[in-house]
Chains A and B, each alone.
Chain A
Amino acid sequence: MDKLGQEWVSAAVDGEIDEQMLAELAADKDSHEQWRDYHMIGDAMRGELPKTMHLDLSANIAAAIENEPTIIAPVKRETPKDVKVETKGLSNVIPMFKQFGQYAIAASVALVAVVGVQNYGQQESAIDASPLPVLNTRPLVGSVTPVSLQTGPVQQNQSFTNDQVMEQRQRINAYIQDHMLQQRLNNGVQIDDNSHSELDSIPVNH
């Protein structure tokens, strides 16, 4: 895109452009980055910067424009379904439940900070004597939180091997992360119990 093109992009961002030019702009993939940059600058000036930064807006906007009846892109209108599927692939959207089997989702919902573990009738000295295994999880903010934990009285006299400690950490992590994820998934279940009519209306709206 030349200098004139850049001005187009700028004008389009400001909404000072007619629909035909907008569609031409949309067809030109090179200018999409500029488009996003201008929008970002605009957002920054309006103090709305971070809200849209991570969304792949250009892909979504391209899809929206391609689905609109325009004279510029009639060929693409013939296969609107394909376009849609393609867009979903572009914006990294995979709506299948199997995604939840992946560690990534679990990791991001984890948020753990253990202070201490209650002990049944254990004496202070006994607690001090046994080494505290440390569990690391990734909290929401991205830094690492040390989590200390202690097992029940039975294990305190045993010496853990590194593998056992690691496996225990992983299992605790797995349970806590699963619990956190279930909070997100089960939130909708309550709709089932309380208001069937609301739930029924979901497929209609989408």
Chain B
Amino acid sequence: MRLILLGLLFLNFPVMAQEAISAKAWLENMSQALREQEFKISLIQLQADHIRPLVYIHGKIADQEVAFLEHLNGPPKNAVRVGQTVTFIEHDQPAYSVAAKRIQGLFPPAFADDFSALESGYQFVLGGRTRLAGRPGQLVRIIPNDNYRYGYQVWLDMETSLPLRYDMLTQDKQLLEQILVVELLVLDEVPAILHEAYKQDWPAVVSQSERDAGDNWKFKWLPAGFEVLVKDSHRLMGSDESVEYIALSDGIANISVYVARAGDAQMPEELVTRNGLSLVTERVGNAEVVAVGKVPTETLARVAKSITIE
């Protein structure tokens, strides 16, 4: 009996190990494909009752990644990336550039990054195969290890490893956001628009040196994998309110924590949006701790409660 059990162990382990590796290998292939390949994808992004058609074009010129994201409906709203600079060109403001690895607002930037960084918070599990955008796709689930964050699933093109569909899900599998590729074109050469983007003289990267260092905030507790990304003090968008700001990230999910003097109008204790963005306010004496992010409100509440100053 023992021998049989031992034998089963030996039989099972390599199989399980192989599956674990291959799910991650799929994701690593996607990461590489997103960075290396020349392609054009037409896609729709679904968030609650918003449906946005987008086009994303990616290529490499002179060993630099060049990409272009365009919103097809509504007023012009585009983003251009050359190397590590992303320029946002939007109808209602002057174009501005930021230093960034990816164009934010499409697939999570982590999808083109090192997936090992996500392993403390998530597991990668292979799913079934299905047909998407007229191509066979392989499902890979990115499952959170705890209840403090949302899960993701991504279908990859079997041929190119590029993403064909992306879902962001709550713990009870409620869909928060979906990106659905309708057409994937693998390009033989860098399209003209990227050459034009590469040659353009884009505005210089906005200087963030004006950011104050901020106070020495610490967290007594953070979900596994979350780390402090940025600390500063700045004035809140659209108001003169000055806040202490701490950015947290686990690689995919981002949380912003603000500490400010409580205003006359009290903030709601909890606010949940249908695309998964939540806001939680914790009042401490005269101060207000506001946590915002695409994570469950329970996480935000616990994070907001655990902040201390040294």
Question: B21-29, B82-90, B165-173, B214-222: which one contacts chain A?
Answer: B82-90
Q: Mark A162-196, 1 if CB is under 8 A from B, else 0.
A: 01111110111111111101111111111101100
Q: Which residue of A lies closest to B237 (CB)?
A: A106
Residues of chain B from 168 to 208 with CB closer than 8 A to chain A in the complex: 192-193, 196, 199-201, 203-208
Set of chain A residues within 8 Å of B72, measured between Cβ atoms? 50
B208 touches A97 (CB 8 A): yes
Residue pair A114, B94 in contact (C-beta under 8 Å): no
The interface centre, meaning the residue of B49, B237, B243, B277 with most chain A CB atoms within 10 A of its CB, is B237
Contact partners of A95 in chain B: CB under 8 A:
96-97, 203-207
Checking B71, B207, B290 against A175 with a beta-carbon cut-off of 8 angstroms, the contacting residue is B290
Which A residues touch B50, using CB under 8 A? Answer: 111, 113, 139-141, 145
Cα(A163)–Cα(B73), bound, Å: 35
Q: How far is the CB of B51 from chain A (nearest CB, A)?
A: 9
- Asked if A175 and B292 sit within 8 Å, CB to CB, the answer is yes
Which residue of B93, B109, B254 contacts A99 across the interface (Cβ within 8 Å)? B93
Contact of B206 with A112 in the complex, beta carbons under 8 Å: no
CB proximity to A under 8 Å, residues B90-107: 90-102, 104
- B114 to chain A: which residues have CB within 8 Å? 194
**CB of B273 within 8 A of chain A?**
yes
Q: Does A12 contact B (CB under 8 A)?
A: no
How near does chain A come to B198, taking the closest CB pair, in angstroms? 11
- B98 and A187 contacting across the interface, CB-CB below 8 Å: yes
Q: Are B206 and A142 in contact (CB under 8 A)?
A: no
- Asked if B271 and A117 sit within 8 Å, CB to CB, the answer is yes
- Which of B100, B235, B263 gathers the greatest number of chain A CB atoms within 10 Å? B100
B199 CB to closest chain A CB (Å) equals 8
Tell me if A111 and B264 are in contact (CB < 8 A). no
A93–B48 CB distance below 8 A: no
Q: With A60-B200, A113-B275, A141-B73 as known contacts, state yes or no: A100 contacts B229, CB within 8 Å.
A: no
Given A100-B206, A140-B50, A191:B275 Cβ within 8 A: no
**Residue numbers in A under 8 Å from B64 (CB-CB):** 205
A75: Cβ under 8 A from any B Cβ: no
B241 to chain A, nearest CB (A): 7
> How far, in whole Å, are A99 and B97 apart by their CA atoms in the complex?
11
Task: Flag whether B150 is at the interface (Cβ < 8 A).
Answer: no
Q: How many A-B residue pairs have CB under 8 A?
A: 249
How near does chain B come to A5, taking the closest CB pair, in angstroms? 25
| Chain B proximity of A25: nearest CB distance (Å) | 19
A87→B95 CA distance, assembly (Å) = 14
Indicate if the CB atoms of A182 and B245 lie closer than 8 Å. Answer: yes
The answer to whether B206 and A179 have CB atoms under 8 Å apart is no
* Cβ B77 vs Cβ A108 within 8 A: yes
Residues of A within 8 A of B47 (CB): 111, 113
Find B254's partner among A52, A173, A186 (CB 8 Å cutoff): A186
For window 107-153 of chain B, which residues contact chain A by CB distance below 8 Å? Answer: 109, 113-114, 117
A173 to B279, CA, bound (A): 11
Chain A residue with Cβ nearest B53: A141
A142 in contact with B104 (CB, 8 Å) = no
Q: Does A149 contact B (CB under 8 A)?
A: yes
Contact with B along A108-151 (1 / 0, CB 8 A): 10011111111010000000000000000001111101010111
Residues of B within 8 A of A143 (CB): 74
**CA of A201 to CA of B264 in the docked complex: distance in angstroms?**
47
- Which residues of chain A are within 8 angstroms of B269 by Cβ–Cβ distance? 120, 151-152
Flag whether B310 is at the interface (Cβ < 8 A): no
The reply to whether B93 and A108 contact each other, CB–CB distance below 8 Å, is yes
Whether B241 pairs with A174 at a CB distance below 8 angstroms is: yes
Complex Cα gap A111–B176 (Å): 13
Query: Do residues B203 and A88 form an inter-chain contact, with CB atoms below 8 A?
Result: yes
Closest beta carbon of chain B to A60's beta carbon, Å? 6
Contacts A55-B89, A111-B47, A184-B104 hold; do A189 and B229 have CB atoms under 8 A apart? Answer: yes
A-B contacts, 22 listed (Cβ < 8 Å): A93-B96, A94-B94, A95-B206, A103-B237, A105-B93, A105-B237, A108-B93, A112-B275, A114-B273, A114-B274, A115-B272, A117-B271, A151-B266, A151-B267, A167-B265, A174-B236, A175-B279, A177-B237, A178-B256, A187-B102, A199-B84, A202-B99
Interface residues of A, Cβ cutoff 8 Å to B: 48, 50-55, 60, 63-64, 84, 87-88, 91-108, 111-118, 120, 139-143, 145, 147, 149-152, 155, 163-168, 170-179, 181-191, 193-194, 198-199, 201-202, 205-206
Hey, which bits of chain B sit against chain A, CB under 8 A? Answer: 47-50, 52, 64, 68, 70-78, 83-86, 88-102, 104, 109, 113-114, 117, 192-193, 196, 199-201, 203-208, 210, 229-230, 235-239, 241, 243, 245, 247, 249, 254, 256, 258, 263-275, 277, 279, 290, 292-293, 297
